[in-house]
Amino acid sequence: MSIPPSTKNSGDVSAVSPLDGTPPARLDIANDLLRCAKLAQTVRSIPDSERTEEQRAELRRTNRTNTEALRRIVADHGWPSVTLVGLDAGHAAWLIALRCDDAEFQNGVLPLLADAVAADEAESAWWARIYDRCCALTGVKQWFGTQFRNGPDSIEMYPVDDPEKRDARRAEYGLRPHPEKTAELRQRYGREAA
């Protein structure tokens, strides 16, 4: 996987958000995406170490259901852009894509999301995190250092390609510096991966 130059933007899509009071073009799709993300967040709000096996299974089912809903939206409309669904629902679509464990689907949405980023219809950080997630799921070194797993003593980052340039890439795509983000994750999750 290579990083296409079209994915880079300022990371600020607010200029095309319907801030002027104009609703998204497809409020029905926006509401579906927001409902899906909220359902997953309800289960995800319970710390992983405190989830029962039933709750873990429910989260897996919810993620699969949400992925299928997003798959249908993408098939019919392409990536859910800010103009189509608004910024909050666009963010919800990104969370659904990020949290699915279907690398084939994620790889399939990367070019669509890259086009949306290039058109200022999505945030470049969204693309970067899904790119890294695809890498982590397929055993390829990630570029931005956004994906972590449980290590023997604490969370650890999946391997990064060319780690000396990691923070420069993170900055270019609107991600916070790696040491700052890692410290936050360790404080929030302790031993658990994000």
Q: What is the pLDDT of residues 96-111, one digit of tens each?
A: 999 998 889 999 999 9
CA atoms within 13 A on the CB side of 89: 25
- pLDDT digits 0-9 by tens, 41-83: 888 888 777 889 999 999 999 999 999 999 999 999 999 999 9
Alpha-carbon distances of 14 from 18, 72, 92, 148, 181, rounded to whole Å: 8, 26, 16, 29, 23
- Kindly list the domain boundaries of the chain, sorted by start residue: 22-101, 123-194
Q: Are 121 and 82 in contact (CB under 8 A)?
A: yes
For residue 85, pLDDT beyond 80: yes
- Joined tokens for residue 56: 């873990």
Whether this model's pTM surpasses 0.85: no
Confidence of residue 11 (pLDDT cuts 50, 70, 90): very low
Confidence of residue 12 (pLDDT cuts 50, 70, 90): very low
Q: Are 173 and 124 in contact (CB under 8 A)?
A: yes
- Joined tokens for residue 83: 């103009």
- pLDDT digits 0-9 by tens, 135-194: 999 999 999 999 998 878 778 899 999 999 999 999 999 999 988 888 887 777 665 454
In this predicted structure, what is the pLDDT of residue 46?
84
Main-chain dihedrals φ then ψ at residue 148, nearest 5 degrees: -125, 165
- pLDDT digits 0-9 by tens, 119-133: 999 999 999 999 999
In this predicted structure, what is the pLDDT of residue 115?
96
